[in-house]
Amino acid sequence: MKKAKSISRAKYGYLFILPFFVTYFIFSLIPLLDTIRYSFYEYYRSGLRIVGPSFVGFDNYINVMGKDFFTYMGNTFILWIIGFVPQIVIALLLASWFVDVRLKIRCEQFFKVVIYLPNLIMASAFAMLFFTLFSTSGPVNNILTGLGLVKGPIDFMGTPVGTRLLIALMNFLMWFGNTTIMLMAAIMGISPDIFEAASIDGCTPRQSFFHITLPLIRPILTYTLITSLIGGLQMFDVPQILTNGQGNPNRTSYTLIMWLNNLLRAPDYGRAGALSVYLFIVSGILCLVVYKMVNGQDNDAKAEKKAAKKRMKAAKGGKN
Amino acid sequence: MASKNVSGIARSFIAHLVLIILAFMCLFFFYILIINSTCSHADLQKGFSALPKDYFGKNFNAVANDGTFPMMKGIGNSIIVSSLCAAICTYFSALTAYGLYVYDFKLKKVAFTFIMIILVMPTQVTALGFLRLITNMGLYDTLIPLILPSIASPAVFYFMYSYLQSNLQLSLVEAARIDGCSEMRIFNKIIFPIMKPAVAVQAIFTFVGSWNNYFVPALVLQSKEKATVPILIATLRGADYMNFDMGKVYMMITVAIVPIIIAYLFLSKFIIAGVALGGVKE
């Protein structure tokens, strides 16, 4: 009787997870298979003429993996790294300051609210804002010349370095608050006893940061790095809007996803497919790394829970 | 001892200084934006002024009545898409999390592992197939492809699942069953209300994410009628905008950004707690 009932409930499990899997199947898995299929076809528009679809084997893969691919991958990586390095350094610094009781940070909540703010801003509007603010006749140049700091207006978006730095600055502003709060939560998870003991032993704040905080939050630092890398790989909105999809000057801020976007619009489905498959492989590897990390931590939590349950049971048994 | 005190004060001073500089950087650009949105084109040509002018209303009307960039229609579309996304994403993620947490069935482990593997998979890699699918389904240039796929959001699912793990006592479900409550009713009337805090946090993040989304709408939307706010911003960037009324340009960016900032100021405590919660991966 009891067994029959538990079997009948299994169907609710399937029923409840069904919408998720049906949706994922339709809107992600079928598109993924279709993407892979098209990567083996020649299928593009040239003028008003549609070429293909005709099967070409691995031609698209070879064609995509040309000089452009490495240039755009390099661009994406540079744009990501010059935003990420200051982001993680500042976030670590701020997180350790916020949790340090001896520093007595005033208006802590205010600072937290302000530094997280840019994360919620529409990236495309933010990029448009930067474009107007940093244009040669824009307010930033006005202020700089007004203060006498520069002689003539600076053409920020006329040089590769200027454009890249602007993109990195936006990415930094949008993400350092988020990372700070996540790292803070991780540091607060460390037992205060450890810091107290170290402080009694004469440990300086610098020492306790490098020898206690850093090693203990390494898992979440790695997690931040990997998720940020995945985010960097998808970089699109900011450079697309700032440079109007051109990646100018001279394609130095043209990212992989901007390329994908242009191939999809051309349309050149064959090459877009091959590029997608490359991106899928890289993201797949990163996904597995994240899975390993999150799952490892989940198993620990489960083991802990089981032990707690056992203890509870033992205690209950003792009472009875 | 005295030197230790001095170094403590110095450290505290540096910490506050850095925080003030960073806070300044975060607010400065929005400050210029809001000031400039109150200026007329002529004011802006004269150079930057630190104080607001009185052109805000006129700029706002100019933006609201502009047929080339239907900003109000765009905001309407964005609100429809983002609200529906937030609603169905949180409901179905909670349902999926509950289904996987409470029931035992053969494919449970497989299903869970699958979701965890796709946890951070970028949507861009399937964009080509997605675009073709949407076109074949006759959904090109509609808002539906922006809304429906959010039923399957692995990250939101994982947040809900962790929440259930630490907050749901299975005895509650048992008690409801003994009282003769159906399984669907248990979820809708008991579990979902319990999950309210998690649902609220994720609803906010999903809403914002969808409000700011640019890649997918740029792919599937074409007509001006259907455009969401980011699409209009991109159109603005692509237009020959140097001939435009700059006051109006700033006002368009303002209406795209400021609603979220205002909402954030009311919900900030809640949102920051939510970020910290999602980040505890230790």
Q: Which residues of B touch A128 (CB under 8 A)?
A: 233, 236-237, 253
How many Å lie between the alpha carbon of B60 and the closest alpha carbon of chain A?
A: 17
What's the pLDDT band for A319 if we cut at 50, 70, 90? Answer: very low
Residue B210 is predicted with a pLDDT of 92
pLDDT score of A311 more than 80: no
Q: Which of A97, A23, A179 is nearest to B115 (CA)?
A: A23
Q: Which domain holds residue A101?
A: 70-305
Residues A57-76 pLDDT 10s: 788 888 888 888 899 999 99
Q: Which of A173, A289, A281, A270 is nearest to A225 (CA)?
A: A289
Which of B11, B84, B126, B163 should one mutate to test binding to chain A, selecting the residue with the greatest count of A CBs within 10 A?
Answer: B126
**If DSSP states are collapsed to H, E and C, what string results for A202-230?**
CCCHHHHHHHHHHHHCHHHHHHHHHHHHH
* Residue B258 sits at the chain A interface (C-beta within 8 Å): no
| Whether ipTM exceeds 0.85 | yes
CATH code where residue B147 lies:
1.10.3720.10
B92 and B210 share one domain: yes
How many Å lie between the alpha carbon of A84 and the closest alpha carbon of chain B?
A: 16
Residues A8-60 pLDDT 10s: 688 888 999 999 999 999 999 999 999 998 889 888 777 777 777 878 878 88
* Residue A114 sits at the chain B interface (C-beta within 8 Å): yes
Residue A309 is predicted with a pLDDT of 61
Q: Structure tokens of B222? A: 């074409």
The C-alpha atoms of residue B182 and residue B70 are separated, in whole angstroms, by 48
Three-class SS state of A49 = strand
The predicted model gives A178-197 an average pLDDT of 87
CATH code where residue A133 lies:
1.10.3720.10
Q: Which of A294, A110, A97, A107 is nearest to A180 (CA)?
A: A97
Which of A5, A15, A23, A108 should one mutate to test binding to chain B, selecting the residue with the greatest count of B CBs within 10 A?
Answer: A23
* Residue B127 sits at the chain A interface (C-beta within 8 Å): yes
Alpha-carbon torsion, ordered A26, A30, A32, A37, to 10 deg? -160
Which of A124, A208, A269, A298 should one mutate to test binding to chain B, selecting the residue with the greatest count of B CBs within 10 A?
Answer: A124
The C-alpha atoms of residue A174 and residue A111 are separated, in whole angstroms, by 15
The predicted model gives B241-250 an average pLDDT of 78
* Residue A260 sits at the chain B interface (C-beta within 8 Å): yes
Tell me the C-alpha to C-alpha distance, in Å, between residue B265 and each of A91, A198, B150, B258: 22, 39, 26, 11
What is the number of other CB atoms lying within 10 angstroms of the CB of residue A260? 25
B127 and B145 share one domain: yes
Residue A37 lies in a domain: no
Residue A61 lies in a domain: no
Q: Which of A158, A167, A155 is nearest to A127 (CA)?
A: A167
CB A146 within 8 A of CB B47: yes
Percentage of chain B lying above the pLDDT 90 cut: 28
B102 and B224 share one domain: yes
Dihedral pair phi/psi, residue A268, rounded to 5°: -130, 80
Residues A272-296 pLDDT 10s: 889 999 999 988 888 888 888 777 7
* Cβ–Cβ below 8 Å for B212 and A112: no
* Cβ–Cβ below 8 Å for A13 and B104: yes
* Cβ–Cβ below 8 Å for A182 and B260: no
* Cβ–Cβ below 8 Å for A122 and B236: no
Q: Is B93 exposed, middle or buried, given 0-12, 13-18 or 19+ CB atoms closer than 10 A?
A: buried
* Cβ–Cβ below 8 Å for B11 and A245: no
Q: Check residues A84 and A192 and name the one with the higher pLDDT.
A: A84
pLDDT score of B89 more than 90: yes
Window B:166-205, CB contacts with A under 8 Å: 183-184, 187
The C-alpha atoms of residue A241 and residue B239 are separated, in whole angstroms, by 12
Residue B261 lies in a domain: no
B10 and B87 share one domain: no
Window B:51-90, CB contacts with A under 8 Å: none
* Cβ–Cβ below 8 Å for A264 and B219: yes
The C-alpha atoms of residue A271 and residue B91 are separated, in whole angstroms, by 38
Pure H helices in chain A? 2-24, 30-38, 59-64, 67-99, 108-116, 123-133, 139-146, 160-188, 192-200, 205-208, 214-216, 218-233, 237-242, 256-265, 269-319
- Count of H helices and E strands in chain B? 15, 0
Split into its structural domains, chain B has a count of 2
B148 and B176 share one domain: yes
Q: Which of B205, B71, B76, B221 is nearest to B144 (CA)?
A: B221
- A4-18, B98-112, B247-261: which has the minimum mean pLDDT? A4-18
Residue B231 lies in a domain: yes
Window B:195-254, CB contacts with A under 8 Å: 208, 211-212, 214-215, 218-219, 229-230, 233-234, 236-238, 246, 249-250, 253
B81 and B131 share one domain: yes
Last residue of a domain, one of B11, B26, B58: B58
B27 and B129 share one domain: no
How many residues are given for chain B? 282
* H helix or E strand, kind and range, residue A52: strand A49-55
What's the pLDDT band for A303 if we cut at 50, 70, 90? Answer: low
Residue B148 is predicted with a pLDDT of 93
Q: Check residues B51 and A134 and name the one with the higher pLDDT.
A: A134
Residue B181 lies in a domain: yes
Q: Which domain holds residue B47?
A: 2-58
Split into its structural domains, chain A has a count of 1
Residue A41 lies in a domain: no
Residues B32-60 pLDDT 10s: 888 888 888 888 877 777 788 888 888 88
Q: Structure tokens of B80? A: 């429809």
Which of A132, A136, A228, A281 should one mutate to test binding to chain B, selecting the residue with the greatest count of B CBs within 10 A?
Answer: A132
* Cβ–Cβ below 8 Å for B23 and A114: yes
B182 and B45 share one domain: no
The C-alpha atoms of residue B208 and residue B78 are separated, in whole angstroms, by 10
The predicted model gives B117-127 an average pLDDT of 86
B81 and B13 share one domain: no
B232 and B99 share one domain: yes
Among partner residues B104, B115, B215, which is closest to A10 by beta-carbon distance?
Answer: B104
Tell me the C-alpha to C-alpha distance, in Å, between residue A118 and each of A301, A317, B240: 33, 54, 28
Last residue of a domain, one of B58, B80, B103: B58
B72 and B54 share one domain: no
Which of B125, B251, B257 should one mutate to test binding to chain A, selecting the residue with the greatest count of A CBs within 10 A?
Answer: B125
Residue B268 lies in a domain: no
Average pLDDT, chain B: 86
- A108-112, B95-99, B268-272: which has the minimum mean pLDDT? B268-272
Residue A86 lies in a domain: yes
Residue A302 is predicted with a pLDDT of 59
CB B245 within 8 A of CB B44: no
What is the number of other CB atoms lying within 10 angstroms of the CB of residue A20? 23
Among partner residues A31, A128, A283, which is closest to B122 by beta-carbon distance?
Answer: A283
pLDDT score of B71 more than 90: no
Q: Which residues of A touch B208 (CB under 8 A)?
A: 120
